[in-house]
Amino acid sequence: MARAAVLGRLTWQLGEVAELIQETPRVSSLVLDVPDWPGHLAGQHVDVRLTAEDGYQAQRSYSIASAPESAQVTLTVERLPDGEVSPYLVGELRTGEKVELRGPIGGYFVWRAGDERPLLLIGGGSGIVPLMAMIRHHAATAAAAPVRLLYSSRSIEDVIYKDELARLTADDTGLAVAHTLTRSQPAGWEGYSRRIDGEMVAEVAWPKKDAPAVFICGPTAFVETASSLLVESGYDPAWIRTERFGATGG
Amino acid sequence: MAFISRGFRGKRRDTASGSRVPPGQHVVDDFPVLSAGPTPRVPLSEWSFSIVGELDEPKTWTWDEFRRLPSETVSVDIHCVTKWSKLDTSWTGVSVETILEGVETAADYAVAYCDGGYTTNLPVDDLRGRQAWIAFEYDGQPLDPEHGGPARLLVPHLYLWKSAKWVRGISLQAEDEPGFWESNGYHNRGDPWREQRYWGD
Ligand SMILES: Cc1cc2nc3c(=O)[nH]c(=O)nc-3n(C[C@H](O)[C@H](O)[C@H](O)COP(=O)(O)OP(=O)(O)OC[C@H]3O[C@@H](n4cnc5c(N)ncnc54)[C@H](O)[C@@H]3O)c2cc1C
């Protein structure tokens, strides 16, 4: 497992849905058995291809949420009501059914447990998915690097992996999580309650003297804001890797 | 034979323009952004564009000199490897053909290099013949930094990662040298019509 980033030719394979986990009202995880999975790195993605009876096809990219150490491949997908592919993956596809995918793809937005620099992860909405693979990889390998996650969601109901993040924080794995809820907050909320800004970043981010490794993922505007704030605060752009989820809303 | 996904019909929003959409792509109306790091910002007074490598003498243009080169406005379809295509996009720029005018070189390969350290490699033939531009306007407006402003390479017949944002120059080379995404699992040439997305496609 976790052998290489991309091995030669990427062919289409069938993954069987072993389990469906509803993470939030709009987001589900698909736990897939992929028989010839070559292994992946934390942060990589797959391409999913759907084919209709008449041959019409649609393809989209989805980040891998599971750690390289996991035997199964987990995707976590947000259902966009008017979308073409996501409402099929979250809503139509059932346990025991199969879906075509190929991967792993991408050798840049990846984190390896051997990297001992302090790690700063900044995620907006479903942008948490590849960051979660890194967090799970970190926990599975008991990696040395301390990790801080700044995670922006609309409301408490929209926080993906809420319980697992709380558990990993409590377990003293070296993970600290700061949540911000941008639209609504439950009574007694003690996290941030606004869109990511300079003050928040200054409070959560590692001081620049620590020369951290930074991964930022989410909608384009979110990634632009977060990465600009870090560069303005003196971070070297070379420390920062970004992934933008393109046409997704949110 | 592809596997049939039970119950999948698809939206088929773009059937009218089907012949203009490469395999595995779908048409979008907005303009998604994709880059590997933060958006660099360079003042125009410090900006320059250069041709370096296998030629008698490197050439450099300041922003003002560059803007005095003959430019043209083109309407092209663009295709991103993340599966979206955008039709009839309008760009203004200087064709690489114009920039290479009078340049004597035996180089077969080129590497475009950029602020932020991004590089991408192309055969020189893909840059010549008025099919590649250094674009500085999108839809009649100065190019947004997010989309590569002040200037980006535009090579619409290849996947959009070849259209390097924040481009600052082209290095002409005898040998092919994989660029940033090309070293990270993406195809060396990236022809969308042959669906050359990844290594081995
Ligand atoms: C590297 C990468 C990793 C990703 N990882 C994840 C992930 O882990 N989880 C995740 O949930 N997503 C992820 N995405 C996003 C994902 O690939 C899809 O873009 C997303 O699921 C939406 O696809 P869709 O087919 O459901 O929607 P689409 O059909 O693509 O539509 C997207 C939105 O645009 C609107 N729209 C598009 N075209 C039109 C049109 N012509 N007319 C009207 N409306 C239109 C739709 O209504 C919808 O709201 C990732 C993207 C990339 C590039």
CA distance B55 to chain A (A): 31
- B105 part of a folded domain: yes
* CB spacing of B5 vs A100 below 8 angstroms: yes
Q: How far apart are CA B197 and CA B201, in angstroms?
A: 6
**Tokens matching residue A145:** 């690097």
CA B122 → CA A12, B116, B165, distances in Å?
27, 19, 15
Q: How far apart are CA A63 and CA A61, in angstroms?
A: 7
Q: Calculate the average pLDDT of chain B.
A: 93
Token pair 């991103």: residue: B80
Q: What's phi and psi for B146, nearest 5 deg?
A: -55, -35
Query: Would you say B22 and B80 are in contact if contact means Cβ atoms under 8 Å apart?
Result: no
B62: containing domain = 23-30+44-194
Residue B12 pLDDT grade (very low, low, confident, very high; cuts 50, 70, 90): confident
Token pair 């773009």: residue: B14
**Tokens matching residue B60:** 């450099």
Q: State if residue A83 touches ligand 1 by the CB under 6 angstroms criterion.
A: yes
Residue B87 pLDDT grade (very low, low, confident, very high; cuts 50, 70, 90): very high
Query: Would you say A117 and A110 are in contact if contact means Cβ atoms under 8 Å apart?
Result: no
pLDDT > 50? residue B168:
yes
> Region B82-102: what's the mean pLDDT?
94
> Region B9-32: what's the mean pLDDT?
82
Q: B14 pairs with which residues across the strands?
A: none
How far away, in angstroms, is A77 Cα from ligand 1 center? 10
Q: Which of B4, B146, B184 sits opposite A108 (nearest CB)?
A: B184
Structural domain count of chain B: 1
Residue B14 pLDDT: 66
Give the three-state DSSP class for B28.
coil
**Domains of chain A in sequence order:** 2-105 (2.40.30.10), 119-245 (3.40.50.80)
- Closest CA relative to residue A4, chosen from A34, A47, A38: A38
Residue B19 pLDDT grade (very low, low, confident, very high; cuts 50, 70, 90): confident
- B60 part of a folded domain: yes
**Secondary structure element (H or E) that encloses residue A126, with its range:** none
Scanning A38-57 for CB atoms below 8 A from B yields 47, 49-53, 55-57
Burial class (CB in 10 A: 0-12, 13-18, 19+), B106: exposed
Pairing of strands B119-123, B133-138: unpaired
- B38 part of a folded domain: no
More confident position, B161 or B12: B161
- B12 part of a folded domain: no
* CB spacing of A246 vs B80 below 8 angstroms: yes
Q: B93: domain CATH number?
A: 3.90.420.10
| A89 secondary structure, DSSP code | I
Burial class (CB in 10 A: 0-12, 13-18, 19+), B65: exposed
Q: How many CB pairs under 8 A join A and B?
A: 124
Nearest-10 Cα torsion for B117, A238, A136, A249:
-70
pLDDT > 60? residue B171:
yes
- B165 part of a folded domain: yes
**Which atom of ligand 1 approaches the CA of A130 most closely?**
8
CA A150 → CA A160, A212, B17, B100, distances in Å?
13, 14, 42, 47
List CB contacts (< 8 A) between A130 and chain B.
Answer: none
250 residues of chain A, pLDDT tens digit each: 334 444 567 899 999 999 999 999 999 999 999 998 999 999 999 999 999 999 999 999 999 999 999 999 999 999 999 999 999 999 999 999 999 999 999 889 999 999 999 999 999 999 999 999 999 999 999 999 999 999 999 999 999 999 999 999 999 889 999 999 999 999 999 999 999 999 999 999 999 999 999 999 999 889 989 999 999 999 999 999 999 886 433 2
- B9 part of a folded domain: no
- Closest CA relative to residue A94, chosen from A20, A155, A32: A20
Q: State if residue A91 touches ligand 1 by the CB under 6 angstroms criterion.
A: no
Query: Would you say B20 and B79 are in contact if contact means Cβ atoms under 8 Å apart?
Result: no
Write the ipTM: 0.81
CA distance A247 to chain B (A): 5
Q: State if residue A80 touches ligand 1 by the CB under 6 angstroms criterion.
A: yes
- B118 part of a folded domain: yes
Residue A246 pLDDT: 61
- B35 part of a folded domain: no
Residue B117 pLDDT: 92
Q: How far apart are CA A40 and CA A109, in angstroms?
A: 12
pLDDT > 90? residue B119:
yes
pLDDT > 90? residue B18:
no
List CB contacts (< 8 A) between B197 and chain A.
Answer: 47
Q: How far apart are CA A145 and CA A132, in angstroms?
A: 15
Residue B200 pLDDT: 87
Residues B31-40 have pLDDT tens digits of 777 677 888 8
